[in-house]
Amino acid sequence: MGSGAFAFLEEGGALKQAVNQGRFQLGERPLTSNSCPLPPERLGTLTPSDPARPLAALKEQYRAQGYLWLRGFLPHNEVLAFRRRFFTAFQNTGLLKPGVGPADGIFSGLEDKRQTNKVLMEQARTAAYESFCVQPRLWQFFDAFLDGPSYLHKRKIIRYLTPGSDWATPAHYDLIYLRGGTERVVSSWIPLGDIPLEMGGLIYLEGSDALGRKMETEFVHRNAKLSPEERISAYNKNMSEGGWIGKDLAAMADRFDSRWLVADYEAGDVVVHSPYMIHASTDNTDSRGRIRLSTDIRYQNVREEIDARWNNHWTLEDML
């Protein structure tokens, strides 16, 4: 995709216009995260990147922004095929609205967590998911991006969020959970299907890579007297509950005089973010009932220190 295609998004996109005009909301409703409204003056849009740009330019943009929103990085149809495959596995759990194709992933309105969690954990271990994450388009990019052979952490998270759910990801930066390895680890958040604003995608606190670094320096100082095991834990006595920075995103944006950057993601997009970049998600309030599906996986240079705690498949109880 040539860079011309992005001029629209960068300069005249409807989303950006909405933010600029200070009327950023979903229909009559404001955007929320964990039910807390995000005021329009504290919102902005993510800057899209053309994956075809020279690598040096992408690296520079990543360094400057703390993230890259790579539009159309993966084949759209292959991502949708994966979404279909994933939700097909849930067909007998009652999660999906009957009579609608699994690729649509429409919520039935009821969830039996015992059944769905079992299927989710199975899906997180399938060869199909593994092979999606190790597809050459991804590892070849990360080999180049990380200046050497890339390593994909075995702990790979695949999440879905039903509309109306009372959970959105609170604000955090990833190194809180990955302190046992290199700080050059890079996270990749991949929407598995379109995730327009109303479906609750990932949002980033503008300029927060520097903030995350500052916070981590303070934690290193405060954690210095702890045992090596505690020092790297996201749950040690110096961390807030669950390692989160907080759930009230509006208050956080006020406190740091910053904005939350939002996007309408499409199947095929890949976001890459630094381990210090503060991010969170918004609520899925989709009136069409679509379930938000995404994966977040981490790459690093294989020659750098690897956090051994991430050497196992993700489980819902692993407390990492």
Ligand X SMILES: O=C(O)CCC(=O)C(=O)O
Could you tell me the smallest distance in angstroms from the CB atom of residue 155 to ligand X?
12
Of 6 and 204, nearer to ligand X (C-beta) is 204
Of 68 and 202, nearer to ligand X (C-beta) is 202
Of 183 and 226, nearer to ligand X (C-beta) is 183
Q: Give the closest residue to 179 by CA, choosing from 131, 230, 232.
A: 232
Neighbours of 99 (CB within 10 A): 6
Binding to ligand X (CB under 6 A) within 200-259 occurs at 202
Q: Which of 132, 189, 265, 276 binds ligand X (CB under 6 A)?
A: 189
Does position 296 interact with ligand X (CB under 6 A)? The reply is: yes
Residue 177 near residue 234 (C-beta atoms within 8 A)? yes
Of 93 and 281, nearer to ligand X (C-beta) is 281
Cα separation, 28 vs 65, whole angstroms: 31
Q: Which of 187, 208, 274, 301 binds ligand X (CB under 6 A)?
A: 187
* Residue 31 CA: distances (Å) to CA of 35, 207, 312: 9, 21, 36
Could you tell me the smallest distance in angstroms from the CB atom of residue 47 to ligand X?
18
Cα dihedral 310, 311, 313, 315 sign: negative
Could you tell me the smallest distance in angstroms from the CB atom of residue 227 to ligand X?
27
Of 7 and 240, nearer to ligand X (C-beta) is 240
Of 26 and 100, nearer to ligand X (C-beta) is 26
Of 153 and 259, nearer to ligand X (C-beta) is 153
Give me the amino acid identity at 270.
V
Q: Give the closest residue to 194 by CA, choosing from 121, 141, 269.
A: 269
Which residues have CB under 8 Å from 131's CB, separation 6+? none
Could you tell me the smallest distance in angstroms from the CB atom of residue 221 to ligand X?
24
Neighbours of 294 (CB within 10 A): 22
Q: Which of 47, 182, 223, 281 binds ligand X (CB under 6 A)?
A: 281
* Residue 173 CA: distances (Å) to CA of 138, 183, 208, 242: 22, 12, 9, 12
Q: Which of 16, 145, 153, 174 binds ligand X (CB under 6 A)?
A: 174
Could you tell me the smallest distance in angstroms from the CB atom of residue 139 to ligand X?
18
Does position 294 interact with ligand X (CB under 6 A)? The reply is: yes
Cα separation, 134 vs 139, whole angstroms: 6
Q: Torsion-angle region of residue 219: left (phi > 0), alpha (psi -120 to 50) or beta?
A: alpha
Number of residues forming the site for ligand X (CB under 6 A): 10
Could you tell me the smallest distance in angstroms from the CB atom of residue 202 to ligand X?
6
Could you tell me the smallest distance in angstroms from the CB atom of residue 181 to ligand X?
15
Chain contacts with ligand X (rule: CB under 6 A): 159, 169, 174, 187, 189, 202, 279, 281, 294, 296
